[in-house]
Chain A
Amino acid sequence: MEEHVLICEDSIDGILTGIYEAYQYKKDNGIDSHDWMHLAVKEPDIGRLLTCYTKIETNAEKAQKVSRTIKRELGEHTFYDLCLAMVSADAEKADAVYHTVVIGLKYHDRNVFARLGEPAVQKAFACQRGAGNELNHYRQFLRFAELESGILYAKIGARDRILPFLMPHFADRLPADNFVIYDELSGVFGLHPQYKQWYLVNGADFDEDSLVFSKAEAEYSALFTQFCESIAIEARTNPKLQMNMLPLRFRKYMVEFERRANEETLH
Chain B
Amino acid sequence: MQSENIRADSLPIMESAIDNTLPAVEAVSCERNTCGGIETFVKDTQSTMEKLTILSDAAKYDVACTSSGVDRKGNGKDMGNCLAAGICHSFSADGRCISLLKILLSNECIYDCKYCLNRRSNDVPRATFTPDEVCELTMNFYRRNYIEGLFLSSGIVNNPNYTMELIYATLYKLRNEYRFRGYVHVKGIPGADAMLIQKVGYLADRMSVNLELPTAEGLSRLAPNKHRKNILTPMRQIQNGITQGKQEVAIYRSAPAFVPAGQSTQMIIGATPESDYQVMAVAQGLYDNFQLKRVFYSAYVGVNNDKELPAPSTATPLLREHRLYQADWLLRFYHFRVEELLDEKRPNFNVLLDPKCDWALKHLEQFPVEINRADYHTLLRVPGIGVKSAQRICGARKSGALSFDNLKKLGVVLKRALYFITCNGKMMYRTKLEEDYITRNLLSLHEKLPFDKDGMTYRQLTLFDDSENNVALFG
Contacts and interface: CB of A to CB of B under 8 A. Distances in A.
A109 B88 CA distance: 35
A144 B140 CA distance: 10
Interface stretch (B78-86, B169-177, B289-297): B78-86
Contact of B78 (A114, A176, A229, A242): A176
A244 B78 CA distance: 34
Given A116-B406, A117-B400, A219-B22, A231 B56 contact: yes
A246 B91 contact: yes
A239 B141 CA distance: 24
A195 B80 CA distance: 14
A150 B398 CA distance: 54
A89 interface: no
B452 A240 contact: yes
Contacts of B141: 220, 223-224
A238 B451 contact: yes
A115 B53 contact: no
Given A175-B76, A233-B94, A256-B90, A241 B48 contact: no
Interface string B336-378: 0000000000000000000000000000000000000000000
A217 to B, nearest CB: 8
A117 B98 contact: no
Contacts of B73: 172
B450 interface: yes
A236 B74 contact: no
Interface in A201-244: 216, 219-224, 226-242, 244
B36 interface: no
B93 interface: yes
A53 interface: no
A254 B399 contact: no
Interface in A240-257: 240-242, 244-246, 254-256
A195 B75 CA distance: 11
Interface residues of B, number: 62
Interface string B368-408: 00000000000000000000000010011111111000100
B301 A233 contact: yes
Question: Main SS of chain A's interface residues?
Answer: helix
A267 interface: no
Contact of B392 (A114, A136, A173, A221): A114
Interface string A1-38: 00000000000000000000000000000000000000
B60 A114 contact: no
Nearest to A139: B87
A144 B145 contact: yes
Contact of A230 (B53, B78, B398, B400): B53
A145 interface: yes
Given A152-B144, A176-B79, A235-B316, A223 B52 contact: yes
A236 to B, nearest CB: 4
A140 B61 CA distance: 23
Nearest to A112: B399
Contacts of A242: 91-95
Contacts of A254: 90
Contacts of B144: 143-146, 152, 220-221, 224, 255
B152 to A, nearest CB: 14
B96 interface: yes
Most buried by B among A140, A152, A170: A140
Nearest to B181: A173
B216 interface: no
Given A144-B145, A173-B74, A246 B52 contact: no
A238 B95 contact: yes
Contacts of B70: none
A154 interface: yes
A254 B144 CA distance: 11
A236 B410 contact: no
A174 interface: yes
A73 interface: no
9 contacts: A115-B400, A154-B145, A175-B76, A216-B140, A222-B49, A223-B48, A227-B56, A236-B96, A242-B93
Closest A-B pairs by Cβ, 7 of them:
A241-B95, A114-B395, A232-B92, A116-B396, A236-B94, A172-B74, A238-B95
Given A116-B406, A154-B145, 9 more contacts: A114-B392, A122-B406, A175-B77, A176-B77, A230-B52, A235-B301, A235-B302, A242-B91, A255-B146
